[in-house]
Structure 1
Amino acid sequence: MAKEQERDGALIWMLADENLHAVLDKLPGRLDRQSWCLVCKKFLYLEAASRKYVHLMRPEILEPVLRRYHQVEHLDLSSCVEVKDSCLATVAKFTSERLLTIKLMRTKGFGAVGVKALVECKSLQEVDLSFCTQVGDVEMIIVSELKHLQKIKLTHCRNVTDVGLSALSRCKDLRTLGLKFCSGLGDNGIRDVATACPQLSNIDLSFTEVSDKGLASLALLEHLESLSLISCNNVSDNGLNCLKSGCKALQKLDVAKCSNVSSHGIIALTHSSGQLQQLNLSYCKLISSVLFSSLQKLKTLEVIRLDGCAIGEANVSLIGSGCKELKELSFSKCQGVTDVGIVDVVTACTGLQKLDLTCCREITDVALEAVATNCRGLLSLKMENCLLVTAEGLISIGKCCLLLEELDLTDCNLNDNGLKSIARCTELRFLKVGYCMDITDAGLVHIGATCKNLREFDCYRSVGISDEGIAAIASGCKRLKVVNMSYCESVTDASLHSIALLRDLLQLELRACSRVTSVGLSYIAASCKHLRELDVKRCTYVGDPGVLAISNGCQNLRQINLSYTAVTDFGMMAIANMSCIQDMKLVHMTKVTVDCFGRALLACGSLKKVKLLTGLRMTLPNEVIRQLENRGTRLRWMEKPK
């Protein structure tokens, strides 16, 4: 056997590198590429030589990683809690000639010195500094030295003002500008960038103080394709009117929650653009029938979102008569959506692929039957809390919409016959049947038998489901990555034994599954090696043995909720010492001492966010809190009843 292995290894070394690279290129998944590396040293070498993307969890291994992967063009450090100036200097040292993109979202520790080192990477085209609250005008002035910069995101960078934004006008190739929640900005910075950067095509000004004056300057941008103005309450119809003289290439407009924008402003802008494809008017209170009457002029419109709007039956019908090319329509939490309107829309827009009817409580089986009859190419249907729809209407969906990939029936009148019909939709990838009190294990057996492509399954609070149904889902839907069984009180460790079959499982929610114990968690730990998120809140029989098994077996775990469990100091320290853990919820853990909380939080070097009981703020040493805050860990103090 040893000689045969030695011979095969020699044959592998004789294969041409380009042939092996061609094989490697066929492996799309990260896990598949990891398995490739373990075959032999040559495969490991080739993978390292071809790797262009690196995502790090800990900055201390940055230098050895960049030494090994010497072709890196895309670097993601957003999972690191702290990225010091010296880290960015290291990045520049090893990647200055080829780095194209870098992500630093939510990282702390660096400032102007680090950014100055980073701009030595002259080829940088994309920089993401979202939620880097320490970044301000000084850093922006330095970033403006990147002459090839095409995309920058500054979400929640509140210290950036017009001074810093104006500096970016030196980046003549800028195409994407993300300024969401940059509350320090005014109109002058927007004007300077719009004037100097004619290639801008994507701008997000949501939740900023921009006014009509700043918005008017965007009319200079002939290539502007996407404009997002969510909750820009200083913008009115006058600002949108100013844009109509330019922005002829506009394809996507988002004015959700803009309290001073009415139908007249939207009509003025959208009718000047002959290419508009997506329109989001969610929660716009000033929308009237005038707008819906004019929709027939928007021949290219493919997506319209009206969540939270008071529409009215007649206006819903107008959408159908005007927008024949609609592919996506959202009426989530809308008032005035009835059977008549839905029938008119789906009869006219037979090419619909996505339909959101969440909380449209006036629709009945009549609307569903019309959807099923006319929209046979439907890919996504969301119907949470549609209480007048019965199982018969849902059966019609299962009979006709066989291409469905996403179906949300949370809190609907679904029963096992409905599930049997839905099981005909063999392309289903996301299925939510939470709060459906009439479904049982018998219904899940049908889903498990046919829906082999299922990736996400949610049966939250569906109390008729037990171990038998979960076993049917797990054995039939082996590609599942997300499972939510929270508040299914009949679920026991036997279900977790079945779930352990899911080798690709990434997220598992077991909140308040009171019959689950540490034994069940040990099943998960033994097989689900890629698990990233685990919620065992209120699983009172989960203790140290379970979390110890998880800490040993699930080394990729990034988020865990241990609130109200029986975990003690021993189990707490086991979780804290995991290398990847980033988010912990630790409320009412009565068996963990204050001293252990302090030691565990400091030991968890990758921790970015933690939820704790308010009382601990008074008992934890001030030095512990100070160290956590200084390195960028967000502390959320909660007042929760026991």
Structure 2
Amino acid sequence: MDNILCDELLQEIFMKLPPSSSSSVSLVSKRWLYLFRSSRTSLSLRLLPRFSDIASLSSLLSDHSSLSSLSLFLSSDSASADSAVSDYVLAVVSSRCSRLRALRFMSGPVSLSSLNSLSTACTCLTSLCINLPRPVSLRWVLSFPSLRELAITWPSSGGQEIDPSNQFEVWESDETVAELGLQSLCLVGIRRDDWGAGWLWRSCKNLKKLRLQSCQGIGGPYSSFVQCLRNLEEIELRTCRSVVDGVLLHLAENCQFLNSLLVYDGGSRDGLLHFFFHCRSNLQKLDLRLPLDLNNDHLSAMAANIRGLSSLRLQNCCLVTGEGLKLLGTSMASCGLEELALINCDVVERESGLLATLGQQLRQLRKLDLSHNELLLDKEFISMSVSCTHLSDLKLRGCKGLTNAAMISVVRSCKFLENVDIMHCGGIESEAVEVFVEKSPKLRRINVEENKLSNAAKMWASNRCIEVVY
């Protein structure tokens, strides 16, 4: 049989194998190992910054001649922080992977000369994730005309302090603006004294998604920043307390197509209120993790001005009350909210009857996440689940107060469930898990501890192709 199958046919078969089966292919013969490697289009590697690992990288990449996506991680010790090591590894990638379309290179900062070499070798690169040194310099992006997704991380500390006035003169005095094709941009670690991103903001006219993380500034004046907001659809602000007010202000005034907003760990009450009252776009997805910044005033503003939400996710929001959530639920009853997450929100445990009211208001819910509400009881959860009969995705991870009764109720009420997470729910036992797996007609995936799966439950899961994640 091995002689009958030609190389091209074997490679086509290998490309269609699931990951669980493909790992054993290389053990059959040297021919299969060679064909398997040459047919792979995606590869993820973690290297130690030692000579033997780096020396073997060139040979390994040569064997994977069809790679279009590569993730490469250098372990984070003192050697891997050496820019020379990172530059050498990137040079190997440039020389061996000319077909790359996506590169995620997580290591110490790489030099701009290495990026120029990469752009010459990998002309089809559309996605790049890289670490860079300071000062912030971004004109090299022009060397990647096909780039659509870009993620850059700068070191969080160390390096020489830069005089922001000097950088402003260097970068902002040049009015030349390029037309970049970037649609997704992620910037991590911009400091207050970094002023090298103004040109990039002015050149990103087609930006759809923006993510800022651990940023104390935006790398330039807001007059440049607003020029990338015209077509923006999604924005994520993670641990950016210093700039979140300014960003939200300009989002409210300049974004007409924004449909998704995420703000984690850093905001201000006034900035959020201004955004909710003056937002000009049809916001559809809202994800907030603001333990000390979100309160009922914000929920009231959302209820009054944001009517098209399809997804609302709140995490660790300890200042909101049941009154605010019920008001929000009333306003969203007619808009067809499909996803609701109240993760580690003590109001769920604190106010009796809240979940029952939300369930009656939001009968069209498809996804419900009540994870890490450790004191949530059966009575409160069941009172909501009996109304949410269209659920397809349910997450109860870490809800230690729930018992078998909660799962039996779900089996009776929620006939469309496909994905369920009941990890770390100590009160839910193997008997209830067995009944749930057997009686849920559309179940496709369940997250549960292995010791809660009886032999019968494993049989049902196997026969019905249900994925079990431990």
2:432 match: 520
Question: In the aligned structure 2, how far is the partner of 1:214 from the partner of 1:293?
Answer: 19
2:407 match: 496
1:127 match: 42
Structure 1 pair 457–214 and aligned structure 2 pair: CA distance change class (3 A):
closer
Structure 1 pair 330–292 and aligned structure 2 pair: CA distance change class (3 A):
farther
1:283 match: 214
Q: Which letter maps to 1:297?
A: Q
Instruction: Say yes or no: does 1:349 pair with 2:349.
Output: no
Please report how far the alpha carbon of residue 455 of structure 1 lies from its aligned counterpart in structure 2 after TM superposition. 3.6
Question: Among residues 328, 336, 339, which one is paired with 1:403 in the alignment?
Answer: 336
Please report how far the alpha carbon of residue 351 of structure 1 lies from its aligned counterpart in structure 2 after TM superposition. 1.9
Question: In the aligned structure 1, how far is the partner of 2:42 from the partner of 2:250?
Answer: 43
Structure 1 pair 76–214 and aligned structure 2 pair: CA distance change class (3 A):
farther
Please, which runs of 5 or more residues in structure 1 have no aligned partner? 1-63, 94-113, 415-434, 537-541, 561-642
**1:446-468 CA-partner distances (Å, limit 9, x unpaired):** 62796355244425436353168
On the 8 A contact 1:339/1:367 being kept in 2, the answer is no
Question: In the aligned structure 2, how far is the partner of 1:251 from the partner of 1:485?
Answer: 34
Instruction: Say yes or no: does 1:191 pair with 2:116.
Output: yes
Question: Among residues 227, 232, 236, which one is paired with 1:297 in the alignment?
Answer: 227
State how 1:140-179 maps to structure 2 within 5 Å. Answer: 140-141=58-59, 143-144=61-62, 149=67, 151-156=68-73, 162-163=87-88, 165-169=90-94, 171-179=97-105
Please report how far the alpha carbon of residue 513 of structure 1 lies from its aligned counterpart in structure 2 after TM superposition. 3.2
Please report how far the alpha carbon of residue 356 of structure 1 lies from its aligned counterpart in structure 2 after TM superposition. 2.9
What secondary structure sits across from 2:125 in the alignment? Answer: coil
What secondary structure sits across from 1:249 in the alignment? Answer: coil
Q: Which letter maps to 1:86?
A: L
On the 8 A contact 1:467/1:494 being kept in 2, the answer is no
Question: Among residues 4, 22, 36, which one is paired with 1:118 in the alignment?
Answer: 36
**1:60-110 CA-partner distances (Å, limit 9, x unpaired):** xxxx9x9999964843554469557335867xx5xxxxxxxxxxxxxxxxx
What secondary structure sits across from 1:227 in the alignment? Answer: strand
What secondary structure sits across from 1:461 in the alignment? Answer: coil
What secondary structure sits across from 1:378 in the alignment? Answer: coil
Question: Among residues 146, 151, 168, which one is paired with 1:223 in the alignment?
Answer: 146
What secondary structure sits across from 1:383 in the alignment? Answer: strand
Structure 1 pair 69–519 and aligned structure 2 pair: CA distance change class (3 A):
farther
**1:117-137 CA-partner distances (Å, limit 9, x unpaired):** 43554xx6x323255889755
What secondary structure sits across from 2:213 in the alignment? Answer: coil
State how 1:256-267 maps to structure 2 within 5 Å. Answer: 256-259=188-191, 262=194, 264-267=195-198
1:454 match: 366
Aligned residues: 433
Structure 1 pair 302–365 and aligned structure 2 pair: CA distance change class (3 A):
same
Question: In the aligned structure 2, how far is the partner of 1:446 from the partner of 1:345?
Answer: 22
Question: In the aligned structure 1, how far is the partner of 2:123 from the partner of 2:281?
Answer: 39
What secondary structure sits across from 1:331 in the alignment? Answer: strand
What secondary structure sits across from 1:156 in the alignment? Answer: strand
On the 8 A contact 1:454/1:479 being kept in 2, the answer is yes
2:125 match: 200
2:187 match: 255
Structure 1 pair 132–445 and aligned structure 2 pair: CA distance change class (3 A):
farther
State how 1:552-631 maps to structure 2 within 5 Å. Answer: 552-555=459-462, 556=466, 558-560=468-470
What secondary structure sits across from 1:279 in the alignment? Answer: strand
Please report how far the alpha carbon of residue 352 of structure 1 lies from its aligned counterpart in structure 2 after TM superposition. 2.0
Q: Which letter maps to 2:128?
A: I
Question: Among residues 350, 353, 356, which one is paired with 1:437 in the alignment?
Answer: 350
Please, which runs of 5 or more residues in structure 2 have no aligned partner? none
Structure of larger gyration radius: 1
**1:156-187 CA-partner distances (Å, limit 9, x unpaired):** 265995455434445554332222x2459665
Structure 1 pair 531–521 and aligned structure 2 pair: CA distance change class (3 A):
same
2:420 match: 507
Question: In the aligned structure 1, how far is the partner of 2:43 from the partner of 2:385?
Answer: 39
Q: Which has the higher strand share?
A: 2
Question: Among residues 16, 22, 25, which one is paired with 1:75 in the alignment?
Answer: 16
On the 8 A contact 2:232/2:257 being kept in 1, the answer is yes
**TM-score, reference length from structure 1:** 0.56
Question: In the aligned structure 1, how far is the partner of 2:259 from the partner of 2:396?
Answer: 29
Question: In the aligned structure 2, how far is the partner of 1:140 from the partner of 1:214?
Answer: 29
Question: Among residues 385, 396, 404, which one is paired with 1:484 in the alignment?
Answer: 396
What secondary structure sits across from 2:448 in the alignment? Answer: strand
Q: Which letter maps to 1:404?
A: L
Question: In the aligned structure 1, how far is the partner of 2:22 from the partner of 2:14?
Answer: 22
On the 8 A contact 1:525/1:554 being kept in 2, the answer is yes
Question: In the aligned structure 1, how far is the partner of 2:364 from the partner of 2:108?
Answer: 47
Please report how far the alpha carbon of residue 485 of structure 1 lies from its aligned counterpart in structure 2 after TM superposition. 6.0
Please report how far the alpha carbon of residue 534 of structure 1 lies from its aligned counterpart in structure 2 after TM superposition. 0.3
Please report how far the alpha carbon of residue 333 of structure 1 lies from its aligned counterpart in structure 2 after TM superposition. 1.4
State how 1:54-73 maps to structure 2 within 5 Å. Answer: 72=13
1:470 match: 382
On the 8 A contact 2:336/2:364 being kept in 1, the answer is no
On the 8 A contact 1:306/1:332 being kept in 2, the answer is yes
What secondary structure sits across from 2:405 in the alignment? Answer: helix
Question: In the aligned structure 2, how far is the partner of 1:372 from the partner of 1:80?
Answer: 50
On the 8 A contact 1:228/1:254 being kept in 2, the answer is yes
Please report how far the alpha carbon of residue 362 of structure 1 lies from its aligned counterpart in structure 2 after TM superposition. 3.3
Identity of aligned residues (%): 18
What secondary structure sits across from 1:396 in the alignment? Answer: helix
Question: In the aligned structure 2, how far is the partner of 1:276 from the partner of 1:223?
Answer: 14
What secondary structure sits across from 2:188 in the alignment? Answer: coil
On the 8 A contact 2:423/2:447 being kept in 1, the answer is no
Question: In the aligned structure 1, how far is the partner of 2:53 from the partner of 2:204?
Answer: 36
Structure 1 pair 506–407 and aligned structure 2 pair: CA distance change class (3 A):
closer
Please report how far the alpha carbon of residue 193 of structure 1 lies from its aligned counterpart in structure 2 after TM superposition. 1.6
Question: In the aligned structure 1, how far is the partner of 2:270 from the partner of 2:139?
Answer: 41
Please report how far the alpha carbon of residue 313 of structure 1 lies from its aligned counterpart in structure 2 after TM superposition. 8.5
1:333 match: 265
State how 1:302-381 maps to structure 2 within 5 Å. Answer: 302-311=233-242, 315=246, 316-335=248-267, 337-339=268-270, 341-359=272-290, 361-381=292-312
What secondary structure sits across from 2:232 in the alignment? Answer: coil
Comparing both chains, which one has the higher relative contact order based on Cα–Cα distances under 8 Å and sequence gaps of 6 or more?
A: 2
Question: In the aligned structure 1, how far is the partner of 2:136 from the partner of 2:320?
Answer: 48
Please report how far the alpha carbon of residue 254 of structure 1 lies from its aligned counterpart in structure 2 after TM superposition. 0.9
Structure 1 pair 391–280 and aligned structure 2 pair: CA distance change class (3 A):
same
Structure 1 pair 384–473 and aligned structure 2 pair: CA distance change class (3 A):
same
Please report how far the alpha carbon of residue 273 of structure 1 lies from its aligned counterpart in structure 2 after TM superposition. 2.9
State how 1:522-537 maps to structure 2 within 5 Å. Answer: 522-527=434-439, 530-535=444-449
On the 8 A contact 2:418/2:444 being kept in 1, the answer is yes
Structure 1 pair 74–198 and aligned structure 2 pair: CA distance change class (3 A):
same
Structure 1 pair 154–248 and aligned structure 2 pair: CA distance change class (3 A):
same
Please report how far the alpha carbon of residue 200 of structure 1 lies from its aligned counterpart in structure 2 after TM superposition. 1.9
Please report how far the alpha carbon of residue 284 of structure 1 lies from its aligned counterpart in structure 2 after TM superposition. 0.8
